[in-house]
A and B are shown apart, each in its own frame.
Chain A
Amino acid sequence: MPRSSRIWVHMKNAPLGGLTILFLLVMAALFAEFIAPHSPIDQDITQALKVPFFLKGGTLSHLLGTDELGRDILSRIIFGARISLVVGFIAVAISGFIGTCLGLISGYFGGKIDSIIMRVVDVQLSMPYILIALALIGALGPSLRNIIIVIGITSWVDYGRVIRGEVLSVKENEFVDLAKIAGCSTYRILLKHIFPSVVNSLIVLGTLMLGRIIIFEAALSFLGLGVQPPTPSWGIMLADGRQYLTYAWWLATFPGLAIMLVVLGTNLVGDWLRDMLDPRQRAVVRGKR
């Protein structure tokens, strides 16, 4: 069965909703300046707490209403996408890199080094990540750069454990032994034989982690540990909007919806990627043993 046909079969099942959401997210992040109707930080007290356009009294110039300082919610959400995406991708990259390296080493070499790394993982997992974040931000000071670092450092454990598990099973294949008896260096074995077999998990995990990290960033910003005002982050918008929940619900609801949709999108796409990249899909009917 040619590879191209298999890929086509999976394309047919692509989650259009999830992909659309992610596409919109990326577009918003890249072209915020051109898409957003207003500046996200311009204040206009006279326009404060305007309702969204579909309620009585709303206008088309502020489709999703305004916040307590008269800033356009829609524009802030669009610019907020940039923050979420930047944090998301960079943190995923950092944690992915650390997690993969340690996972590879841990899984392949086993023994003492595996025990040590796994102990570090256990210790880190036993501490509530909010506490770690608080401590680190306390030391480094709240900023975009710092929350990226913090999130990256705390999230690597998920990668580490998953990759280690994959490595343990890949290691058992005969082709690894064949590489050894061909005289391959350990480095080459890890790079050319072990790593390519775990890449799939990496991609899938990355997509799923993106959603979680975006939530993480929102949480930290909500607590005031992340980006500082007036930079619009969905987390900050949630925090600001909390006090107005009863009579100006749109301040918190729309950013909340944005977060939810993005996470949903990443989960759907991640699931689809996992199915598509799963080599077991190939075993459809090659020959039953």
Chain B
Amino acid sequence: MSGEEKILEVKNLKTYFFTNMGVVKAVDGGSFHLKKGQSLGIVGESGSGKSVTSLSILRLVPKPAGRIVEGKILYRGEDLVKKSQKEMRQYRGKKLFMISQDPMTSLNPVFNIGNQIGEAIRRRQNVKGNDLREKIIEMLKLVHIRSSENLIHAYPHQFSGGMKQRAMISMALACQPEILIADEPTTALDVTIQAQILKLMEEIRQKYNTSIILITHDLGVIAKFCEYILVMYAGKIVERADVKTLFKGNKHPYTRGLINSLPHLGKKQQRLSSIRGQPPDLLNLPAGCPFEPRCDYSIERCSHEYPPTESAGKGHLISCWRWREI
């Protein structure tokens, strides 16, 4: 399905936020790569750093508090970290496209849908008038928005949540990006609509060989959609593996705890196993492994030394002192 060509390589990315109350290490040393046509999932909860990772790739980290302090983001060999904002505009909306959770903030409420898709199309090709109109309709049909003739003139607020996301996807299609980053694209949508959107994204991936980075906290969505997965906690990538290994052969206590704590449809349990404690406070991270306070496997070493990344098999990397015993 996905080729072997690495089109995106992130090396030791560190994005910090410098606030009045201290430094927040939102992403602290993340490294991964993305292959052509691959679907990569980044899973984590609040404070994990998954959204900031995507913002870093697109160089949209909110200033002035946020900054990429270290690391490389190589898109086809070009280091995006070194690009100016002007240069980044050549990438964003063309080769790199992002869909976020709330399309209401991504879609301009003052322009109708036809206008916005048309603008996306014109970024790539010089089409006008009737040709443009036909292309817009074609784009909308691709995302299964029927009776597109009338809807071209509709405004975003007249669309439902699902339709807005589909409109965003059609804009993405118009741009024909190489990498599509979807940050919680279906979190705000109903389950049946979510299924539509995920199916649509998969169709796009197959048809155009687009690489997709899907960011979510929903492990079910990850299991269904992604080939390879990164698990993040408090700014660090704690485990990564292909989807089967992650669900069946995970070795990090956080990953395991997370998967085990989910109520499984079809399997009623007496009591859910849970991860104790609270989500991390990014302003007061402990030295050593950030998961240590909640970990049932922690040892003395965990509280003052962060474990190195080690390999447990093909493509399966973990950062844990005790993964061999788990």
Binding site for B on A (CB under 8 A): 1, 5-6, 9, 284-285, 287-289
Contacts and interface: CB of A to CB of B under 8 A. Distances in A.
A285 B279 contact: no
Interface string B141-185: 000000000000000000000000000000000000000000000
Q: On chain B, which size bracket covers the interface?
A: 10 to 19
14 contacts: A1-B21, A1-B283, A284-B24, A284-B283, A285-B17, A285-B26, A285-B47, A285-B282, A285-B283, A287-B47, A288-B46, A288-B47, A288-B51, A289-B46
Interface string B59-89: 0000000000000000000000000000000
Contact of A284 (B19, B45, B46): B19
B269 interface: no
5 closest Cβ pairs, A-B complex: A287-B46, A287-B47, A285-B24, A9-B20, A284-B19
A289 to B, nearest CB: 6
A1 B20 CA distance: 11
B21 A5 contact: yes
Contacts of B24: 284-285
B20 A284 contact: yes
A259 to B, nearest CB: 34
Nearest to B284: A1
B28 to A, nearest CB: 13
Interface string B39-67: 00000011100011000000000000000
Specify the main secondary structure of chain B where it touches its partner: loop
Residue of B20, B51, B279 with most partner-chain A CB within 10 A? B20
B47 A9 contact: no
A284 B47 CA distance: 12
Nearest to B65: A284
A138 to B, nearest CB: 49
Contacts of B279: 287
Nearest to B24: A285
Interface of B: 17, 19-21, 24, 26, 45-47, 51-52, 279, 282-283
Consensus secondary structure, chain A interface:
loop
Contacts of A289: 46
Contacts of A285: 17, 19, 24, 26, 47, 282-283
Contacts of B47: 285, 287-288
A6 B21 contact: yes
Contacts of A5: 21
Contacts of B282: 285, 287
A204 B262 CA distance: 47
A1 B24 CA distance: 13
A95 B19 CA distance: 38
Given A284-B20, A285-B26, A285-B283, 11 more contacts: A1-B21, A6-B21, A284-B283, A285-B17, A285-B19, A285-B282, A287-B46, A288-B46, A288-B47, A288-B51, A288-B52
Nearest to A10: B20
A284 B282 CA distance: 10
A9 B20 CA distance: 7
B7 to A, nearest CB: 27
B237 to A, nearest CB: 17
Nearest to B17: A285
A1 B46 CA distance: 17
Contacts of B21: 1, 5-6, 9, 284
A287 B47 CA distance: 5
A96 to B, nearest CB: 30
Contacts of A287: 45-47, 279, 282
A175 to B, nearest CB: 21
Contacts of B51: 288
A213 to B, nearest CB: 33
A6 B21 CA distance: 8
Which of B19, B21, B282: most chain A Cβ within 10 A?
B21
A9 B22 CA distance: 11
A284 B284 CA distance: 13
B21 to A, nearest CB: 6
A9 to B, nearest CB: 5
A285 B46 CA distance: 10
A265 B229 CA distance: 56
A284 B66 CA distance: 12
A279 B19 CA distance: 16
A288 B282 CA distance: 11
Nearest to A9: B20
Nearest to B20: A9
A64 B180 CA distance: 71
A5 B19 CA distance: 13
A227 to B, nearest CB: 45
A285 B26 CA distance: 9
B103 to A, nearest CB: 16
B306 to A, nearest CB: 20
Nearest to B46: A287
Contacts of B19: 284-285
